[in-house]
Amino acid sequence: MLAAGSKVACHTFVFEKTGPIRVGSAAARIARAHAAARDLGVNIHPRHLADPSSPKQLHRAAYDAYLRLKAAAEADGIPPNLLVIVSGYRSIRSQQSLWENALNRYRDPNIARRWVAPPGGSPHHTGRAIDFSLGTRNDSSNIPALRSTVAYKWLVCNAERFGFTPYRNEPWHWEFNPPGFPTSTGPSVPAAPPRPTPIPSRSPAHLPVYAPPARRQEPSSSPAEIPIVGLPGFSPPEEKALRITTMFETGRPLNFGGLTGNFDNQGLSFGLLQWNIGTGSLQPLLREFATRFPGKVQAIFGPDAPRFFDILQPHRSLPEQMQFARSINDASQRNVVEPWRTYFARLAADPDFRQIQLRHVRWLMDVAKTFARRLGLRSERGLALMLDNVTQNGAGWLKPNRAALIQQRKAEQERQTGRPLTERQFLAVIANVVADTVNPRWSEDVRRRRMMIVNGTGVVHETPMDLARQFGLTDQPWETIPGVPSWSAPAPGTMQYPRPLSATRLRAP
Ligand SMILES: [Zn+2]
């Protein structure tokens, strides 16, 4: 049985803070890491093995982290017979026989590759990958059951703290790759000092601070590259939309801890969708947290907790709140200063605050879906565009003037071409209307960001992106409606728009 208050109740996922071991797992690098694992390998105590009769090894650093993780799991009520190790370090020779079995089973190397890496290409060669026992069969045919185990949910909520990152295809497979761990040369070189948290180069309108693409990749570029991890409570098209917009907002997909200063005159912005003080969108999340978890507020914000949460109360005026927010920015008003950065980092790591964030995302996603339905958008690309609109321009983004302009341009184009717009063409119309109707100062940034979704590719901050490859974004329907053709543009004059809700406006443009 689980202890009361167990962290398993968390429904958030652990997201890669650093690239997992698969990153750039070129054969030579794997081989170096392989050699290092041989040097630094330690024997796993039989008590921690799923099959105590078959000795296994791990890289020393991974084993140390595993021991801490295991103790924490047991303290949280995970039974000792779970989260034991099924597989750790593998020699290239042992991988050879696994690979041959997989080839026999799947008959197609490209499919086999999703489940077993070819010899020389497995993260297990590094000694830093662990296959855990979750209490049910570790098998590709058993994924839903594995994902529903208590042990898996515990890992999802907690493994990141111990330096482990998940692998989408295999709930049982986790890799030890904490920030600062040398990735390319393997563990044989002295550990590099932890990389400083990059200070994102700010751009107006929260244009993406671009971080390298999600680096979790199969050794080959199979379709399995699509980094859908199964965010609880979100469909795959919703998750793709959220990953894209959160990357635009925070520089990293699903970055719960995005923190930016007052560069856009919103005081400070925090979290997945950069809720902020200036538009009043952040205060409700913080107040909810304080009401439900008063003890945590004390632990996270320390001596500053009383003053901070007093200023967040609804009876305080916005100018007062903004003045406070500015006071915890540095002189450039671009960066939040210490100890507040630390406070917000703690808050971002808290499972209960992550849940609060996700609930607010859920609400915004539903608003986005409402717009997609009203505009007749069927593709997941269309849903992604709607989420980006409501995130950056608020739940009231489709104001009457915009709705009229969209209809007008659509009709114009259809007259010119003599045929109805495709959905993508219609999305381009919407994207350009939004860009043309925001503050001219943000206009081109907004256009670049929205057109990136429409086209699927683009360059942001000099970094080329490919949403199909990085996020699996397609033109497939985001919901199935029996009997409805895949794309039917709304007839002129029938397009509906909801009343503007200025209170829910989130961002400046
Ligand atoms: Zn594995």
Instruction: Please name the amino acid found at residue 388.
Output: D
Instruction: Check the CA dihedral 470-471-472-477 and report its sign.
Output: negative
pLDDT of residue 102: 79
The string of DSSP letters for 353-421 reads HHHHHHHHHHHHHHHHHHHHHHTT--BHHHHHHHHHHHHHH-TT-S-HHHHHHHHHHHHHHHHHHSSPP
DSSP code of residue 203? -
Give the whole-angstrom CA distance, residue 80 versus residue 115. 27
Domain boundaries, the chain: 7-178, 234-349, 355-504
Cis peptide before 182 (omega within 30 of 0): no
pLDDT of residue 168: 76
> Among residues of the chain, what percentage have pLDDT more than 90?
45
Element (H, E) at 288: helix 283-292
Ligand 1 centroid vs 150 CA: distance in angstroms?
19
Ligand 1 centroid vs 38 CA: distance in angstroms?
18
DSSP code of residue 45? P
Instruction: Check the CA dihedral 246-250-253-255 and report its sign.
Output: negative
Ligand 1 centroid vs 129 CA: distance in angstroms?
6
| pTM of the predicted structure, to 2 decimals | 0.55
Give the whole-angstrom CA distance, residue 260 versus residue 55. 48
Strands (E), 215-292: 259-260, 269-270, 275-276
Ligand 1 centroid vs 132 CA: distance in angstroms?
8
Q: Which residues surround ligand 1, an ion (CB under 5 A)?
A: 131, 173
Ligand 1 centroid vs 376 CA: distance in angstroms?
43
For 128, residues 6+ apart whose C-beta sits below 8 A from its C-beta are: 21, 33, 37, 58, 59, 61, 62, 175, 176, 177, 187
Ligand 1 centroid vs 352 CA: distance in angstroms?
29
Collapsed DSSP state (helix, strand, coil) of residue 137: coil
pLDDT of residue 37: 60
How many residues does the structure list for the chain?
Answer: 509
CB atoms within 10 A of CB 474: 16
Higher pLDDT residue, 149 or 221? 149
Q: Which residues of 40-63 are buried (b: 16+ CB within 10 A; e: fewer)?
A: bbbebeeebbbeeeeebbbbbbbb
Ligand 1 centroid vs 115 CA: distance in angstroms?
9
Ligand 1 centroid vs 128 CA: distance in angstroms?
10
Ligand 1 centroid vs 171 CA: distance in angstroms?
9
Ligand 1 centroid vs 25 CA: distance in angstroms?
15
Ligand 1 centroid vs 89 CA: distance in angstroms?
9
| φ/ψ (deg, to 5) at 119 | -55, 135
Secondary-structure class of domain 7-178 per CATH = alpha beta
> Among residues of the chain, what percentage have pLDDT more than 70?
76
Range scoring the smallest mean pLDDT among 47-61, 266-280, 295-309, 380-394:
47-61
Ligand 1 centroid vs 197 CA: distance in angstroms?
29
Model confidence at 188, pLDDT cuts 50, 70, 90, reads very low
Model confidence at 463, pLDDT cuts 50, 70, 90, reads low
Convert the pLDDT of each residue in 398-430 to its tens digit: 999 999 999 999 999 999 999 999 999 999 999
Model confidence at 172, pLDDT cuts 50, 70, 90, reads very high
345 closest CA partner among 475, 129, 160: 160
Ligand 1 centroid vs 473 CA: distance in angstroms?
27
Over residues 323-338, mean pLDDT: 93
Ligand 1 centroid vs 103 CA: distance in angstroms?
17
Ligand 1 centroid vs 434 CA: distance in angstroms?
46
Model confidence at 23, pLDDT cuts 50, 70, 90, reads very low
Ligand 1 centroid vs 130 CA: distance in angstroms?
6
Collapsed DSSP state (helix, strand, coil) of residue 178: coil
Collapsed DSSP state (helix, strand, coil) of residue 464: strand
Ligand 1 centroid vs 210 CA: distance in angstroms?
30
Over residues 329-338, mean pLDDT: 92
Q: Which of 3-7, 201-205, 458-462 has the highest mean pLDDT?
A: 458-462
Ligand 1 centroid vs 192 CA: distance in angstroms?
26
